[in-house]
Amino acid sequence: LARDHFIGVDLGGTKILAEVIDRRGQIRSRAKRETPFRGDGRDLVAALSETIEEAIGRSPVARTRIAAIGLGSPGPLDPDRGILLRTPHIAARRVPLGKRLGERFGVPVILDNDVHMAVLGELEAGAARGCRSVVGLWVGTGVGGCVIQNGRVVQGINKNAGEIGHMYLDAKRAVAGREKGTLEWEASKTGMTRHLEKEIRKGKKTRLSGKLHGDERLHSSDLAKAFRAKDKLAVEAVRHSARYLGIAIANLFNALAPELFVLGGGVVEDVGSPYVALVREHANAFAFSTELSKVRVVASKLKDDAGPIGAAAAARRKLAASGS
Amino acid sequence: LARDHFIGVDLGGTKILAEVIDRRGQIRSRAKRETPFRGDGRDLVAALSETIEEAIGRSPVARTRIAAIGLGSPGPLDPDRGILLRTPHIAARRVPLGKRLGERFGVPVILDNDVHMAVLGELEAGAARGCRSVVGLWVGTGVGGCVIQNGRVVQGINKNAGEIGHMYLDAKRAVAGREKGTLEWEASKTGMTRHLEKEIRKGKKTRLSGKLHGDERLHSSDLAKAFRAKDKLAVEAVRHSARYLGIAIANLFNALAPELFVLGGGVVEDVGSPYVALVREHANAFAFSTELSKVRVVASKLKDDAGPIGAAAAARRKLAASGS
Inter-chain contacts counted by CB atoms under 8 A, chains A and B: 160
Burial of B106 (0-12, 13-18, 19+ CB in 10 A): exposed
| Biggest alpha carbon–alpha carbon distance for chain A | 65
Nearest CA to CA, how far is A123 from chain B (Å)? Answer: 17
| Biggest alpha carbon–alpha carbon distance for chain B | 65
Distance in angstroms (rounded) separating the CA atoms of residues A129 and A123: 5
- pLDDT given for residue B214 in this prediction: 56
Contact with chain A for residue B116, Cβ under 8 A: no
Work out the angle at residue A27's Cα, subtended by the Cα atoms of residues A25 and A29, and round it to the nearest 5 degrees: 150
Q: Find which of A119, A137, A166 to mutate to test the B interface (most B CBs within 10 Å of its CB).
A: A166
- Mean pLDDT, to the nearest integer, of B294-306? 97
A289 and B75 in contact by Cβ < 8 A? yes
Contact with chain B for residue A175, Cβ under 8 A: no
- Mean pLDDT, to the nearest integer, of A82-107? 91
**CB A260 within 8 Å of CB A136:** no
Contact with chain B for residue A154, Cβ under 8 A: yes
Beta bridge partners of B144: B138
Give the closest of B254, B285, B292 to A177, CB-based.
Answer: B285
Residues of B in contact with A171 (CB under 8 A): 169-170, 186, 243-244, 247
Contact with chain A for residue B298, Cβ under 8 A: no
- Which amino acid is residue B297, in one-letter code? V
- pLDDT given for residue B216 in this prediction: 57
Residues of A in contact with B247 (CB under 8 A): 168, 171, 174
Percentage of chain B surpassing pLDDT 70? Answer: 98
**CB B139 within 8 Å of CB B266:** yes
Q: Find which of A86, A239, A292 to mutate to test the B interface (most B CBs within 10 Å of its CB).
A: A292
- pLDDT given for residue B191 in this prediction: 95
Distance in angstroms (rounded) separating the CA atoms of residues B99 and A187: 46
pLDDT higher than threshold 90 for residue B167: yes
Distance in angstroms (rounded) separating the CA atoms of residues B191 and A171: 15
Contact with chain B for residue A76, Cβ under 8 A: yes
Q: Provide the pLDDT confidence category of residue A216 given band limits of 50, 70 and 90.
A: low
Give the closest of B76, B161, B177 to A255, CB-based.
Answer: B161
- Which ipTM score applies to this complex? 0.93
Q: Provide the pLDDT confidence category of residue A141 given band limits of 50, 70 and 90.
A: confident
Residue A226 CA, chain-centre distance (Å), reads 23
Nearest CA to CA, how far is A131 from chain B (Å)? Answer: 11
Distance in angstroms (rounded) separating the CA atoms of residues B304 and B311: 12
A 217-276 residues with CB below 8 A of B?
Answer: 243-244, 247, 250-252, 254-259
Residues of B in contact with A291 (CB under 8 A): 76, 78, 85, 158
**Chain A residue at shortest CA distance from B244:** A171
**Chain B residue at shortest CA distance from A88:** B288
Nearest CA to CA, how far is A204 from chain B (Å)? Answer: 22
Continuous segment of H or E residues that includes residue B281 = helix B273-286
Residues of B in contact with A252 (CB under 8 A): 255
HSE-up (13 A, CA, CB side) for residue B262: 32
Average pLDDT, chain B: 94
Residues of A in contact with B288 (CB under 8 A): 76, 160, 163, 166
- pLDDT given for residue B236 in this prediction: 97
**CB B277 within 8 Å of CB B263:** no
Beta bridge partners of B73: B113
**A220-228 vs A232-256: helix crossing angle, rounded to 10:** 110
- Of residues B38, B60, B36, B64, the one with CA closest to residue B50: B36
SS in 3 state form for chain A? CCCCEEEEEEECCCEEEEEEEECCCCEEEEEEEECCCCCCHHHHHHHHHHHHHHHHHHCCCCHHHEEEEEEEECCCEECCCCEECCECCECCCCECHHHHHHHHHCCCEEEEEHHHHHHHHHHHHCCCCCCCCEEEEEECCCEEEEEEECCEECCCCCCCCCCHHHCECEHHHCCCCCCCCEHHHHHCHHHHHHHHHHHHHCCCCCCCHHHHCCCCCCCHHHHHHHHHCCCHHHHHHHHHHHHHHHHHHHHHHHHHCCCEEEEECHHHHHHCHHHHHHHHHHHHHHCCCCCCCCCCEEECCCHHHHHHHHHHHHHHHHHHHCCC
- Mean pLDDT, to the nearest integer, of B251-259? 98
Work out the angle at residue A47's Cα, subtended by the Cα atoms of residues A77 and A22, and round it to the nearest 5 degrees: 75
- pLDDT given for residue B123 in this prediction: 97
The predicted model scores a pTM of: 0.94
List, edge to edge, every strand of the sheet that includes A27-34: A27-34, A15-22, A5-11, A66-73, A109-113
A255 and B163 in contact by Cβ < 8 A? yes
* Each residue's pLDDT tens digit, A228-278: 999 999 999 999 999 999 999 999 999 999 999 999 999 999 999 999 999
Beta carbons within 8 Å of B211's beta carbon, 6+ residues apart: B218, B219, B222
Nearest CA to CA, how far is A56 from chain B (Å)? Answer: 34
Residues of A in contact with B243 (CB under 8 A): 171
Q: Provide the pLDDT confidence category of residue A91 given band limits of 50, 70 and 90.
A: confident
Q: Find which of A84, A146, A289 to mutate to test the B interface (most B CBs within 10 Å of its CB).
A: A289
pLDDT higher than threshold 80 for residue B213: no
Average pLDDT, chain A: 94
**B114-125 vs B306-321: helix crossing angle, rounded to 10:** 90
Give the closest of A166, A171, A282 to B170, CB-based.
Answer: A171
Contact with chain A for residue B185, Cβ under 8 A: no
Residues of A in contact with B176 (CB under 8 A): 282, 285-286
Continuous segment of H or E residues that includes residue B255 = helix B232-256
pLDDT higher than threshold 70 for residue A214: no
* Each residue's pLDDT tens digit, B97-146: 999 999 999 999 999 999 999 999 999 999 999 999 999 999 998 899 99
- Mean pLDDT, to the nearest integer, of A122-149? 96
Write the DSSP assignment of B122-180 as a string of letters.
Answer: HHHHSTTTT-SSEEEEEESSSEEEEEEETTEE---TTS----GGG-BSBGGG--TT--T
* Each residue's pLDDT tens digit, A174-184: 999 999 999 99
Torsion of CA A94, A96, A97, A103, to 10 degrees: -160
Residues of B in contact with A164 (CB under 8 A): 254-255
Distance in angstroms (rounded) separating the CA atoms of residues B198 and A260: 41
Q: Which alpha helices (H) appear in B24-72, and where do they start and end?
A: 41-58
* Each residue's pLDDT tens digit, A27-63: 999 999 999 988 889 999 999 999 999 999 999 999 9
Nearest CA to CA, how far is A32 from chain B (Å)? Answer: 30
